[in-house]
Amino acid sequence: MIRFLFLFAFLINISFSVAQNSSDKPKLVVGIVVDQMRYDYLTRFWDQFGNDGFKRLVNNGYNFKNAHFDYVPTYTGPGHASVYTGTSPAYHGIISNSWYDKFEGGFVYCAGDESVQSVGTETRAGEMSPHRMLSTTFADENRLHTQMKGKTIGVALKDRGAILPAGHSANAAYWFNGGEEANWITSTYYMDELPQWVQNFNNSNKAESYLKTWEPLKPIASYLESGLDRNEFEGGFKGKNEATFPYDLKELASKNGNYELIKATPFGNDLTAEFAKAALVGEQLGKDGITDVLTLSFSSTDYVGHNFGVNSKEVQDTYLRLDRTLSDFLKFLDKQVGKGNYTLFLTADHGGVDVPAYLNSKKIPAGYFDESKFQKDISRFVKDQFGDEDLIVNVSNSQVFLNYELVDEMNLDLEDIQEGLSHWLLKQENISKVYTRDDLQGGAFDKGMGNLVQNGFHQKRSGDVVFVMDPGYIIYPETGSTHGSGFAYDTHAPLIFFGKGIKKGSTFQPAYITDIAPTMSALLGIAFPNAATGTPLFMMLDK
């Protein structure tokens, strides 16, 4: 009898502990990645923001003011993968958006998968999956921890922005296919047909409603935090002579990919938020005691930044509109899931560089790297020095890939070729650093650019020589902004945590994007992603 009472008390205690631990966890985790968001957009546009969007997150959450990416290249695919896996490309394997695959003998796309079929479109836009990502995400670990009862849904205009964060075991990932269709789609990796709520959304003509006039949200004269509306540093849209407000999107659509044009305006973010709301309702996320995960990426900021540049009126207007969209989305979460029932973080997948031509106009060193000339020069060097230009099979993503079979056939020493290339590359204008495969595999760089390059170097997938250009130098057209470097304008990103389990506060202590996933795992009491190298940001956990 005593043994029975002891066992009964023990089971009651266990049940109480489980219930207590369950109540400590959020019903929903929302991870928001803003594509191409520099940290200084928070401070630059602060006075123009309302009180319920970015300001609500900063004032009522925990703001890491010195958060950086700890690897290169700073592109969308690696960025989204790193945020959710808690590690760098050296381990999760997403070394770029697309990269040369030395085993397949051609380029591969980070989310491309010809073994699956499109769902929701007759095009090949749905032939996507996370199969090239080698590690789990914290969303995967939450699925495993909850015996697959906790749901994971990924949403983004870009396929890679939806697929990689959601992980391998997601219930679904959805992305937007513009063109003539304007549909949210997925692949047979997740399902064989779209759920009814997605079909209903696609049939609602919501996307079509955003082909309207894009004009400033506020009087453009008040946009003092950005450059002139009419300038020579912006791209613009086909069919309009000047990159100036207003933009009649309905009129411009036919020359700019039809519904694809929505992505390149702030209305793409509005469309994403509306679809995310539909997902929350349709999938009943956050409606029980088992934690669900919504991964949400706002991609339009990247399209606008690439087109108009980080100092443009268009970028400022896009962020003021995103602030309003965030405000509305947070209020929706309050109503749908309940205040205090969800935890949210907001970060970016990379930053962006000021247009080099603009920097030059202000006497700041910057410029453009002539990739075409460089390709010819490096081929000529290899032929003259080692006897055959085909010893280089590919140059891309600031990496040189060597032809191992030809090296063997010619009885050459691979290390000699690497070293020869290294010395030659350092002589080239606007190349400041070079690392060989031997350097990166044999050495340990604990700080600086060497550390960033090493963290982005995957032994099996990366090239044999990696080079770094001078600050402010890019391979890109002379209008608009881009990203990809290890310099602060590309690595410094916002990182804000908000909601259940999060203290209020801020810090200038260093934090890294790879710390996000371990932090969320610690908050949820689940296993870290299986290749995680980041560290939980314990100072802001309300425990």
Catalytic residues: 76
> In 359-480, where do the E strands start and end?
367-368, 392-396, 399-402, 431-436, 465-469, 473-474
| Cα(257)–Cα(272) distance, integer angstroms | 18
For the chain, give the longest Cα–Cα distance: 91
Residues contacting 406, CB < 8 A, separation 6+: 388, 390, 391
| Cα(129)–Cα(159) distance, integer angstroms | 9
| Cα(138)–Cα(3) distance, integer angstroms | 41
Q: Is the peptide bond before 246 cis (omega within 30 degrees of 0)?
A: yes
Are 356 and 368 in contact by the 8 Å Cβ rule? The answer is: yes
Q: Is the peptide bond before 477 cis (omega within 30 degrees of 0)?
A: no
Sign of the dihedral defined by the CA atoms of residues 170, 172, 175, 179, in that order: positive
Sign of the dihedral defined by the CA atoms of residues 355, 487, 538, 36, in that order: positive
Count of all residues that appear for the chain in the document: 543
Beta-ladder partners of 395: 400
Residue with tokens 């995967």: 140
How far is C-alpha 140 from the chain's CA centre? 18
* Sheet of strand 431-436: strand arrangement: 392-396, 399-402, 465-469, 431-436
| Cα(169)–Cα(141) distance, integer angstroms | 9
Residues contacting 156, CB < 8 A, separation 6+: 33, 162, 165, 175, 176, 272, 295, 296, 297, 298, 299
| Cα(428)–Cα(432) distance, integer angstroms | 9
